[in-house]
Amino acid sequence: MAQVTKIPRIYVNTLAYLNALGLAEGNLIQGGYMHLNPTKTKMWGANGNNDTRVFKTNTQINNFFGEKSFIALLGHNLHSAGAFVRVQGFEKDASPSNYDEAYEFSDLINDRHQTGNTIYPDGNDGFSMSTFDGRSISNDKNSISIRLDGTGGSYTIHPQINSAFLGTYYDFPHAADVSVKMEYSYDGVKNVTSRGGSTLSNATYLKPADWGDGGAWQLGSDADGNPVDNLRMGRRSWSVNFTYLTEDDIMAKVAATSNAGSSFEDGQNPNENTLLDGTDFISQVWNRTLGHHLPFIFQADNTNNNPDQFCIARFDQNSLVVNQTAPNLYSISLKVVETY
């Protein structure tokens, strides 16, 4: 089954989270490049030159990136443009040219490496996602950059990346309960019955908006070289339950930024067991999406990397309820809805 839910994965936009907290600046924000809205075409590499978009923070940035980090480039034409991308860390008040070595990526979808530290879309325009180990960001770096270059120093056409953002991903500790419910809704369709008894139907929207010239979550071109349309209609949503979760699966040992003054105090590692480096659901997901405020990328089965497995989504709930079902075991229920 193409849309079966097994162990879901949630990709959180860390840059949007830091921006929402007022901790960031830079042209990735000013140009709207790091938001999960790839519908507006955004051109990079003006005049055929390389292009660096920066995200500056007022905090140590590797506090917010861990072993499970990723980059997503949505709505791009990098294959046709002959372009590739690197991610580098640097100091906020220094030139972006004073950066860490580019981080080493692992392919997730539509990515081929000229070297381990480049994202070079493998044969298709559309979107690309790659993972990397955010622990490689140096402790003294408080900013991060996405750098675009052309193969051989030039581009074949003007490159575009409609949305480029970085973050961390969270895999649930085990599969969802068997009571998973998935829906396809057409909430943009409204039917009314006229006085004469006829049914009148109006559709204001039927599917996610296109990402520039191509359809959302589509790869490649048709036989004539045109971007592929998205023919999948309706809004997807998932109702999932997780039981037999431990306390460490759900919440941080210290729900604060530092462990100072707690029973887990560690002067050498003040972030350990806190919201900054916790691997639990609240630290990695619920806190960093601000509940249902910020969108994320949802993948219902973390072993299935087909293009149709991904969507931009939000939590469709105002609160997270944690129920204790047995000594030291808990359950949570989530409603995830595709957002346009």
256 occurs within a structural domain: no
132 occurs within a structural domain: yes
pLDDT the model gives residue 62 = 83
Does pLDDT of 20 surpass 80?
A: yes
Q: pLDDT > 70: what percent of the chain?
A: 96
User: What gap in Å lies between CA 173 and CA 281, rounded to an integer?
Assistant: 9
Mean local confidence (pLDDT), 3-20: 91
74 occurs within a structural domain: yes
191 occurs within a structural domain: no
pLDDT tens, position by position, 242-298:
999 999 999 999 999 899 989 998 988 888 889 988 899 999 999 999 999 999 999
56 occurs within a structural domain: yes
pLDDT the model gives residue 279 = 92
145 occurs within a structural domain: yes
Backbone angles phi, psi at 298, to 5 degrees: -115, 135
Mean local confidence (pLDDT), 109-122: 80
Contact 102, 87 (CB under 8 A): yes
- Of 136, 176, 127, 167, residue with least CA distance to 302: 176
pLDDT the model gives residue 100 = 73
Most confident of 44-48, 65-69, 109-113, 138-142: 65-69
**Residue 183: CB partners within 8 Å, gap ≥ 6?**
236, 237, 238, 239
pLDDT the model gives residue 308 = 93
pLDDT the model gives residue 143 = 87
Mean local confidence (pLDDT), 34-42: 88
131 occurs within a structural domain: yes
pLDDT tens, position by position, 162-198:
999 899 999 999 999 988 999 999 999 999 999 999 9
The number of distinct structural domains making up the chain is 1
User: What gap in Å lies between CA 340 and CA 108, rounded to an integer?
Assistant: 23
pLDDT the model gives residue 280 = 95
User: What gap in Å lies between CA 147 and CA 128, rounded to an integer?
Assistant: 15
Residue type, 120: Y
Q: Which domain holds residue 21?
A: 9-171
pLDDT the model gives residue 47 = 64
CATH code assigned at 21: 2.60.120.260
Q: How far is CA 35 from CA 77, 134, 243, 295, 308, in A?
A: 18, 20, 33, 9, 21
Does pLDDT of 2 surpass 70?
A: no
pLDDT-based confidence at residue 97 (cuts at 50, 70, 90): low
Of 126 and 113, more confident: 126
Alpha helix (H) residue ranges in 41-95 = 78-81
Most confident of 50-59, 85-94, 156-165, 196-205: 196-205
pLDDT-based confidence at residue 33 (cuts at 50, 70, 90): confident
208 occurs within a structural domain: no
Quick check: pTM over 0.85?
yes
pLDDT tens, position by position, 137-148:
887 788 888 989
pLDDT-based confidence at residue 113 (cuts at 50, 70, 90): low
